Structure 1
Amino acid sequence: MLRLTADQLPVFVPFGIIGFYRYLWYTIRIAASLAYQPIPLPEHPTYVANEDVTIIVPTIDAGEEFKEAAHSWLVGRPKEILIITEEKMLQPLQELANAVDPERIRVLTVPFANKRLQMAHGIKHAMTDIIVFADDDAIWPPTLLPYVLACFEDQQIGGVGTSQRVQAVGKRMTVWEVLAAFRLTIRNIEIAASTHIDGGLPCLSGRTAAYRTVVLKDPEFLHAFTHDFWLGKYQLNSGDDKFLTRWMVSHGWGTYVQCCKGAELLSTMKPNWRFVKQVLRWTRNTWRSDLRSLFTERYIWTAHPYVAYTMVDKLINPLTLLAGPVFVFYILYRSFIPVENGGFHLPWWNVLVSYLVWLLVTRAFKLLPHLWHRPQDVIYLPAFILFGYYFAVMKIYALFTLHETGWGTRAGIGDATAATAAADGAARVASEETQAQRPVIEKPRHTVSRGVEPPNFSSGRLRRKP
């Protein structure tokens, strides 16, 4: 750590090798995100929403916010919306669907709440070329579907994501929602940068992501998706978006993310302390998935080396972040020791004030894209700094509790024993029906018309041919 401590400049500057690395890394991300360009809308699109898109929404407790979200989806004119819920929630969800559009919204059920089982059930009933998964509170701009479909003009693309922004649950954002908004701002920069640099990204967010149906109807995928275990014995219910992203990479499909206003969705976050439990679940999912990507599957190293590097960076990030305050506390301790005995000659208050100012200025710089649009959120910078250190400790805690696979913010979800039994039956039925429904790609545009070989069904694997 470099310290400008001469009497001519009696200010403590907590900037050293780690700081240089962190901000060089961030500058590269900013530059790449600025160079990124979304795929423009084609003049004559191959895919149109009213023929080619089914929206699948797994939910158990959709409320009034569902109506606003559903109306925003319908503006894009999808062919069908499938709401997948548990049996006991059929009536209230059916009433919500009827209040919005009973002709284009169908409500289907599974025996109990299990997100992956619900998603697999929706896949089984989808009959279009593109499936879009959406959270029940994801509000889309009118142009989101056209922008998403534009990416599938490239026949190598198997999955497409979007940028995101937080919508307040109440009249104004709580501190928890602002923290979530800060995190999404940083995430939007990261995914734009990685997409520009090597075409990959760590995760196609489950809030809204689109996939080719042929990939998802593969019996091998359906079985793996509903029988995903950590360490061979802890069944995973959440982390579906991470699994889908890894499947794209391991099976040779490209991904893309549309980071632009035309494809930027709004999503609500937990407006209270439950946001922390939400982040803990996401953190565990990230640990499990990234460790698999880097050390078990290892496709990411050759397919998207930049993304692999970002994953390694996130593995060590808690240690580099916590190193800063540890060094500062050490220097504070030395400031109380006489200089002649090897102490630090700046007074403790100089060190502390300099460090706090440094944190505020550098974090404000990091959040400039957000503060440019919402300058009033600058008052939450101290909370963001404190949450950053808390999050570093949380990541370490999450690493040692990866066996905990419960949902965390929704009761009654994640019964691994029941899920295993139901998943066996669901996967078997899905496999049987998929065999009968395989000719889902009816139009030659997917294969011969664009000079791309069709997916190879004979091997039972939907691996895109190079």
Structure 2
Amino acid sequence: MLYLTADKFAVFIPLGVIGFYRYLWFSIRMLAAFVYRPIPVPENPTYIASEDVTIIVPTIDAGEEFKEAAHSWLVGDPKEIIIITEEKMRGPLEDLAKAVNPAKIRVETVPFANKRLQMSHGIKCTTTDIIVFADDDAIWPPTMLPCMLAPFEDQKVGGVGTSQAVIPVGKSMTVWEVLAAFRLTIRNIEIASATHIDGGVPCLSGRTAAYRTVILKDPAFLHGFTNDFWLDKYHLNSGDDKFLTRWMVSHGWNTYIQCCKEAELLSTMKPNWRFLKQVLRWTRNTWRSDLRSLFMERYIWTQHPYIAYTMVDKLVNPFTLLVGPCLIAAVVAKSFKPVEEGGFHLPWWNVLGSWLVWLFATRTFKLLPHLWKRPQDIIHVPAFILFGYYFAIMKLYALFTLHEVGWGTRAGIGDATAATQAMAMQESKGPGGGGPQQSGYPMQGTGPHGVGYGQPRAQSYADGGGFGRESRYDDGSMLHPAYNNPEYAK
């Protein structure tokens, strides 16, 4: 290190500028997330889950995870849970519904497995003021629904999301699940800070999100949602949550994230290399949606400028991230040259070692909220660093393969165009072939967008009021066993 003053490291200036810029903004996000506060549950809420909430679950699975998730949803006492599946899965899912709660759960079908068609069919079957979409493995705390309903007291709010955490599929987390948990920790910070800074959010996650039904009943929404094409050629099936979030922005609705333990869902992730296929699908969806938001629809620039900035940052991120290793490689290569020929005095191992220490320290700092709960995961920080560079390359690959619109991790997902045509034929047969086709429902009052809303109710959620008493677990608790893990209580 004594030779540093004898070498000219101008090559490091771009790296220093990029590093300063990135960690300045990360510090701003951390500060914003720290001062962020969720909206508290009112004593006399306008919306009561037992009267105003329908949970829609598009799925092609009927496993044990689904049964556990359904129990956690029922604790919140929604008015109804509608499972939308393909015809061949009707029997197994009806058996599951009967085993869990036949009075609250019903099963509807579509001709082919297609998530957007399943969701749109569920919307048409809904008669409550609020729709909550949920993945079939999303585990909720008992306070989830009242917490999600609280932001809807503001009649300008059209969609609400939550924070998330990972629970292992097995007895312990694999490295893939830890990587997913790291990503969710960073995401929770990002969405909390974005909500505090300008009220926007990059995406209301499809794992669990709530919307005003009147927005989704709009025929224009239903048509656009099920006839969404990339470059007017490639029919999209995934990316439903991105579409919903963009629709909120483009139609003047506010969104809010309830980032707190009372509204934190637990979800499983792929415990093996198939997690990478999930990430690739999500990355393609992000590219498509962000490019549309920034350069085609452009509402994001005026309504949520901070979110627009984060989208631009993500566009350039893979390029800036890969600059570091390239500069380090150049310096290391030059360190092998004799000083007389323009080489550096500083040994190559000193350069490389300093860079690796810097990487480990900064990445560990970003993951402190997760490591506070699970300090044992610090051994996976090197894997997270490697994944970061792999992810940068994956993002570039995804950019050049946006025409690939397949699901990637699930077999049996039908062609989107064929499924849409089959669904249109089924609905043309009337209610007998396609289920309820109503487009409206009685509501009271009028909001600023010219649509109806309910009136405040006398019932309170205080002391657990409003929760489904019949929906308890084997130990008599209304809390899913995963929430009893000490790491989730921190």
TM-score w.r.t. the length of structure 2 is 0.88
Match of 1:338 in 2: 338
Give 1:440 shift: 1.8
**Stretch deviating more after TM superposition (288-297 or 94-103):** 94-103
Report SS of the residue matched to 1:62: coil
Distance 1:427 1:346 in 2: 73
- Structure 1: 5+ residue runs without aligned partners? 457-466
Q: Deviations over 1:430-450 (max 9, x none)?
A: 99x999734424223xx2xxx
Amino acid at match of 2:106: R
Q: Deviations over 1:239-288 (max 9, x none)?
A: 00000000000000000000000000000000000000000000000000
1:217-366 alignment runs, 5 A limit: 217-366=217-366
1:39-188 alignment runs, 5 A limit: 39-188=39-188
Match of 1:371 in 2: 371
Match of 2:444 in 1: 443
Match of 1:455 in 2: 451
| 8 Å CA contact retained: 1:13, 1:355 | no
| 8 Å CA contact retained: 2:110, 2:423 | no
Q: Cα 1:4–1:38, aligned 2, differ >3 Å: closer, same or farther?
A: farther
| 8 Å CA contact retained: 2:84, 2:108 | yes
Amino acid at match of 1:5: L
Give 1:422 shift: 2.6
| 8 Å CA contact retained: 1:230, 1:403 | yes
Q: Cα 1:425–1:225, aligned 2, differ >3 Å: closer, same or farther?
A: farther
Q: How many corresponding residue pairs?
A: 447
Give 1:192 shift: 0.4
| 8 Å CA contact retained: 1:332, 1:352 | yes
Amino acid at match of 1:442: M
- Structure 2: 5+ residue runs without aligned partners? 453-490
Report SS of the residue matched to 1:364: helix
Give 1:425 shift: 4.0
Give 1:429 shift: 8.0
Distance 1:327 1:415 in 2: 45
Amino acid at match of 2:451: P
Q: Cα 1:404–1:359, aligned 2, differ >3 Å: closer, same or farther?
A: same
Give 1:421 shift: 1.3
Q: Deviations over 1:396-418 (max 9, x none)?
A: 00000000000000012141341
Give 1:340 shift: 2.1
Amino acid at match of 1:323: V
Report SS of the residue matched to 1:152: helix
Distance 1:420 1:46 in 2: 36
| 8 Å CA contact retained: 2:56, 2:133 | yes
Distance 2:155 2:3 in 1: 55
Q: Cα 1:410–1:24, aligned 2, differ >3 Å: closer, same or farther?
A: same
Identity of aligned residues (%): 74
TM-score w.r.t. the length of structure 1 is 0.92
Amino acid at match of 1:131: I
Give 1:61 shift: 1.4
Q: Deviations over 1:63-115 (max 9, x none)?
A: 10111100100000000000000000111111111111011000111111000
Amino acid at match of 1:229: F
Distance 2:388 2:428 in 1: 44
Amino acid at match of 1:226: T
Q: Deviations over 1:279-334 (max 9, x none)?
A: 00000000000000000000000010000000000000000100000000000000
Match of 1:461 in 2: none
Distance 2:150 2:365 in 1: 33
| 8 Å CA contact retained: 2:116, 2:225 | yes
Q: Cα 1:395–1:315, aligned 2, differ >3 Å: closer, same or farther?
A: same
Distance 1:237 1:356 in 2: 41
Amino acid at match of 1:281: R
Distance 1:143 1:33 in 2: 21
Distance 1:454 1:374 in 2: 48
| 8 Å CA contact retained: 2:198, 2:305 | yes
**Stretch deviating more after TM superposition (420-429 or 410-419):** 420-429
Amino acid at match of 1:336: F
| 8 Å CA contact retained: 1:176, 1:275 | yes
CA RMSD of aligned residues (A): 2.3
Report SS of the residue matched to 1:325: helix
Report SS of the residue matched to 2:97: helix
Report SS of the residue matched to 1:270: coil
Amino acid at match of 1:163: S
Distance 2:356 2:430 in 1: 57
Q: Cα 1:435–1:143, aligned 2, differ >3 Å: closer, same or farther?
A: closer
Distance 1:5 1:275 in 2: 43
Report SS of the residue matched to 2:5: coil
